[in-house]
Chains A and B, each alone.
Chain A
Amino acid sequence: MRAVSLGGLGARALRAALLGPLLLSVTGCSWSRFDDVTDSSPIVLLEKPGAMKQGYGVSVAAVRRNDDVEVLVGGGVGVSRAAAYQLGTGESPSTTTVDSGYCASAPCFLSSSLAGFANAPGPDRDYPSCFAVGAGTSATKGLIFRCADHSEFAVAIPKPAQDALDFALDNAQSDDFPLAADRTDHPSLLASSPSARVAWFYPSSSNKFSQLVAPKGAAIDDDSFGKTLTVLPMGDSAGAGRVYAVGVPNQNEVLLWKSEGGRDSAYIGCLGGTAGFGRALASGKVNSDANADLVVSDNVNVHVIDGRALFELPETTTTECGFAALPSGALLDSFGCGTDKNLSGCADSEFGAALAVGDLDGDGDGEVIVGAPGMTVRDNSAAGALLVYDAESPNDVQFVDAKFISSAEQGDQLGRALATPSIDGRDIILAGAPGNGKAALFYCSALLPAGAGGPRCP
């Protein structure tokens, strides 16, 4: 008699087989890898000071003195203040502000554009690492400077601007006094008062203004006169000549003056274009010569104009605006958002709302950085982006890179303001995203050779 039970063996094997896949699934999913990725990230967000109640990132500026680089982020025009950050050397910036008292002591109207000075001519001496931040009262009325050592002073402004300032102060109204300066060690400051329809400049190492006089018939009687400004130095020396460009975007015009380095200036013409021409201006060395070039945007395109050609324009009284007076080849190139087929989201991107020129790869030639604060990024409308173009030579403009904040949010409006601080022999990008009160430093560029960008640009 033999009776051997076979039951249960198959069922047990089946049950045991359930364990395998589950155990195999229990593999580690490391969270520290996110720290590895975000450590030394290529973008550094600057922390908004708690004192800046209204706006942050509306305007930005940078200044370099020796190896000391400082940037300034401004708030709401005429109503807020600005905060300074020390970038130091290398790629280890201080993300917290070192001084948030710019244009903080009343009365001061923060300008829509700020100007950095490696050395600012104060009432008694030169002050290092200063920013011209607006108009107001600091001992005297005028344009307000604040420096890295927290010293403040004011420089005089023309009578119409003074009247406008007084009016604003007396009536508790804000007013805008746009500013611009070149990037030389002893910059020349260009300022304007759109409400007073007046623009003026301070020669290098001087705190005495010279008013820019337009010929009769020029379209300066417009409240957009002087809304945009830029200074084109012809070389890096303190006594170099300069071209002062004053935009009248409502008239689609940019008025040009030049100075041989002294207090005198001469009106050399007016550039005119399509709608919105002159709504943003920037200067920098785009081509290979030693002179700064002019970058102008309209509502669609960005135009790069040889600065030397502009400087060589003769004094004129004509009020005709256009490119006709420019010599051949002066217009280095023009490009729009959709020039490169690899770029999408250009519609309603506000391409050209802000402009900057920076040598991102450190090769001596500058790249044109165009702000598009209305661009949709990762389905976030108006998150904004920065578009980098290499425009070294005619017919060789190419879209190089698109940058945006990785944690883009709807309405960031990145690219509303631009600056290109210089570190370690190259420029990086400082961009304001005032929609959500952000400002960020972009350390890397696609143009950078491998290993040339430090730990943030592997």
Chain B
Amino acid sequence: MSSGFFSRRGALLVLLLTLLLAALAERATAQPEASAGKRLEAIRAEMEKGQGLYVSGNYAGAAAVFEAGYATYPYSAFLFNAGVCYQKLNDVEHALAKFKEYARVDPNAPDIAKVNQRIATLEAAKAAAAVVAPPETSDAGVADAGPPTPPPPPPPIVLPTSDDQNAMKSLVVIETEPDGAPLRIYSRTDASAQPFQIGATNPGWKEVLATHAPANLTLDVGHYHVVVEKFRDFNASEADMDVSPGHVHQLKANLSQGQFMAFLRVSANVVGAHVWVDDQKKQHPEWGETPHGELIPGGVHVVLVEVPGFEPLLANVNLQHGEQKELEVRLARVGYGVLRIDSASSAPMIKVRIDDQPKGIWRSGEDPLDARSDAGPHKLTVTSDDRKTFEGMIDVPRGQVLPLHVTMIPTFPRGPAWTQAVIGAAVLGGAIYAGIESNRLHDQLVADRQGGSLESSDGRATRGKIFAIGADAGFTIAGVFAALATYNFVRDPLPESSIRPDKPIEFEDPLKARPLSLRAPRRAERVARDAEPPFLELTPQASSAGAGLFLGGHF
């Protein structure tokens, strides 16, 4: 019984170990595949950079790039290319060193004979230069020989070279799925040769290499035909390949499909744009982010390139088997932008209007208010209670978020001005009344005088004088108060409310968003949180000082 028991436990343990190993193996496999793609992209970048410098005549720079590339990615193509650059610089020593190193690390290279020949030529040229050089002379004991003559410079080493921009070798990576398939690479030696056919004599074609996948080959510029021979129970497959100078080419054959994959590289004017291939509804994970290259089956594909802030772009691409294609797209920004508004002052709440249309309310402590608007100039109005209104023109960027920090300045208190205005108005009213009364009495006196009824001591004259003096005094006082009130209405030592725009930022990319745990809750989340039903709880508490119940809750 115990053996049976241990037998079942052992089986269970084996099963668990198997699952664990399978999981680890899958993870280990997935990670190298991802890193291999990036590594290849990096090699490609180095190679193309060196090729560019070489073509532009900057041989020293190109040599340095190739040397650095080899130091990081030890592929023999870098060595050969560096040697060519040194040869272009008539630097025989370094050229010889690179070519010899190339021959050492890649003795089975298809062009090893040519490289050895290049080494011999360089060494011969070096030896010839040493023979024609005059022997070194010493001026010791030749006191009367006159002034010493400087030794003539050594004659330059003239290297026989026909290297042009096609002299650069390229790195060709050939892979099969599954690995280990036998490979034969044929080079077209006659440009007019018929297409290669397996099993035929194929005049104009020459086998340059036979190896097994995966293979990292250093090849000259030219047209090649790659044949994956029958392997296990997989059929043979083949593909043409044009090798351009100073590039990295990748071929991958899916033997189960019996064909070579094509290589598609998608780049855009926006780095990090999301690319979906044959998945317009984005039902699967993205294919990659620009710039991104990857082997994909040949045929017609629909490529969707999309990034927030830009109009989505759809492109059809037709790939031949084994073809390497570069798809470069240009994304156009969307026609709207977002103003992300918050307050840099102590205003508890601000109201935002764009072109006099309400856009929302921002409250202190909340996330900035995002107000979407068509791109271009707009009238921005920001108001807050007891704060000066901000009005200004703002340019909404296309497809970007413009952070705006509003500084709302408190309105200058007008209490004294209103007090002075009211007092001034009251005094003015009294003065007007006094003036009217004075005029009325004066008119009466004039009428009485004209009617012969006025006497010199008429009391109305005295009252009229008093009213007139009162009116004049009232007008003066009212004028003073009016001036004070006006001054205090106009005076405003505080600055106007203002905005401080930051640099525009790109729209947030949900596919690159931070983990939820690190993000501040958005408005909707807060609203949901705040919408929690009120609760009331009673908590007993006790300490050395006493005990009691704590009533708490929120509404």
Contacts and interface: CB of A to CB of B under 8 A. Distances in A.
Interface string B502-540: 000000000000000000000000000000000000000
A457 B454 CA distance: 11
A26 B479 contact: yes
Interface string A28-41: 11110111011101
Nearest to A360: B452
Given A25-B478, A440-B455, A444-B452, A2 B394 contact: yes
Contact-size category for B: 35 or more
B453 interface: yes
Contact of B490 (A3, A12, A27, A457): A12
A3 B393 contact: yes
Interface string A1-43: 1111111100010011011001101111111011101110111
A403 interface: yes
A15 B445 contact: no
Contacts of B394: 1-3
Given A1-B501, A29-B471, A31-B468, A38 B458 contact: yes
A286 interface: no
Contact of A8 (B388, B439, B457, B483): B388
B455 A41 contact: yes
A44 to B, nearest CB: 6
Given A1-B395, A5-B391, A18-B421, A403 B489 contact: no
A165 to B, nearest CB: 38
Interface string A434-447: 00000010111110
Given A5-B392, A403-B453, A18 B442 contact: no
Nearest to B460: A407
B59 interface: no
A171 interface: no
A7 B496 contact: yes
Interface stretch (B85-93, B324-332, B430-438): B430-438
A19 B483 CA distance: 7
A41 B489 contact: no
Interface in A400-416: 401, 403-407
Contacts of B350: none
Contacts of B442: 33-34, 37
Interface string B20-40: 000000000000000000000
Contacts of B390: 5, 7
Contacts of B458: 38, 41, 406-407
A26 B476 contact: yes
Given A18-B485, A43-B455, A38 B461 contact: yes
B346 interface: no
Given A8-B492, A25-B478, A34-B442, A15 B486 contact: yes
A3 B478 CA distance: 41
A7 B497 CA distance: 8
Interface string B445-459: 110111111111111
A457 B431 CA distance: 33
A41 to B, nearest CB: 4
A420 B496 CA distance: 82
Given A3-B394, A34-B442, A34-B445, A23 B468 contact: no
A147 to B, nearest CB: 29
A156 interface: no
A404 B475 contact: no
A45 interface: yes
A2 B435 CA distance: 55
Contacts of B475: 25-29
A39 B461 CA distance: 11
Interface string A414-457: 00000000000000000000000000101111100000000001
B489 A405 contact: no
Most buried by A among B452, B472, B490: B452
A2 B394 CA distance: 6
B454 A38 contact: yes
A4 B469 contact: no
Contacts of B452: 42-43, 401, 403, 442-446, 457
Interface in B375-397: 377, 380, 388-395
A309 B448 CA distance: 40
A41 B449 contact: yes
Contacts of A15: 486, 489-490
Contacts of A440: 455
B499 interface: yes
Contact of B377 (A2, A8, A12, A41): A2
A407 B461 CA distance: 9
Contacts of B380: 3
A29 B441 CA distance: 13
Nearest to B421: A18
A45 B457 contact: yes
Contacts of B459: 407
Interface in A338-362: none
Contacts of A16: 486, 489-490
A95 B492 CA distance: 64
A42 B496 contact: no
Interface in B344-370: none
A18 B492 contact: no
Contacts of B266: none
A406 B393 contact: no
A22 B424 contact: yes
A457 B421 CA distance: 47
Nearest to A409: B459
A36 to B, nearest CB: 10
Contact of A3 (B428, B479, B499): B499
Most buried by B among A6, A7, A29, A44: A29
A5 B393 CA distance: 7
The 5 lowest CB-CB distance pairs between A and B, nearest first, are A22-B482, A444-B452, A15-B489, A43-B455, A31-B468
9 contacts: A3-B501, A8-B492, A22-B483, A25-B479, A27-B475, A31-B465, A37-B446, A405-B455, A407-B459
Given A38-B461, A405-B455, A406-B448, 19 more contacts: A2-B377, A4-B393, A7-B389, A7-B390, A8-B388, A18-B482, A23-B482, A29-B438, A31-B469, A34-B441, A38-B445, A42-B449, A43-B454, A45-B456, A45-B457, A406-B445, A407-B455, A446-B452, A457-B452
Interface of B: 377, 380, 388-395, 402, 421, 424, 428, 431-432, 434-435, 438-439, 441-442, 444-446, 448-462, 464-465, 468-469, 471-472, 475-476, 478-479, 482-483, 485-486, 489-490, 492, 496-499, 501
